[in-house]
Amino acid sequence: MSARAARESLHNFLAYIIELHMKIYLRKPTFSDMQQILEYHAEYHGLPGMIGSLDCMKWEWELCPTAWQGSYTSGYYGMPAMMLEAIASQDLWIWQAFFGVPGSHNDINIIHHSPLYNDQINGIGSKGTFFCKWG
């Protein structure tokens, strides 16, 4: 298979996956979704106000341009990396994913670049009664 045919096949496959799952899985939670998530955590785990599990991971960037390596390299890992932030609910619905923050960030300060944080601060985020707790 040629590289062009492989790219076109992948593009068509992904377009179909997006079309198939967009209305259910490729969207932010609605108010009623948030309330269901909150009720589940309060009832089953005794964690009122919890909306999901937020986690960040570093993804090594082997072909990072030389000019960007300083911003994308942390002293801890010593290699260029990007951060991936994802939030999943109990049913493994990944309803927030944010990729591309320089790897020199850590799990605490990456939230300040996240669309989730910015949407909440600007009043356009998911509606619901919840709170953030670090630790």
- For residue 131, is pLDDT > 70? no
What is the pLDDT, as a whole number, of residue 128? 55
The pLDDT-based confidence of 6 (bands split at 50, 70, 90) is very high
pTM beyond 0.85: the answer is no
Here the tokens at position 46 are: 């005794």
What is the pLDDT, as a whole number, of residue 10? 93
Domain ranges of the chain: 28-121
- For residue 108, is pLDDT > 80? no
What is the pLDDT, as a whole number, of residue 90? 73
Quick: pLDDT tens for 29-66.
777 887 888 888 888 888 777 776 777 788 888 898 99
The pLDDT-based confidence of 16 (bands split at 50, 70, 90) is very high
The residue that leads in pLDDT, 25 or 20, is 20
What is the pLDDT, as a whole number, of residue 85? 80
Q: How does DSSP assign 76-97, residue by residue?
A: TT-SBEEEEEEEE-TT--EEEE
Q: What's the CA gap between 57 and 82, in Å, rounded?
A: 8
Q: What's the CA gap between 51 and 114, in Å, rounded?
A: 16
> What are the residues whose beta carbons fall under 8 Å from the beta carbon of 61, sequence distance 6 or more?
72, 79, 80, 81, 82, 103
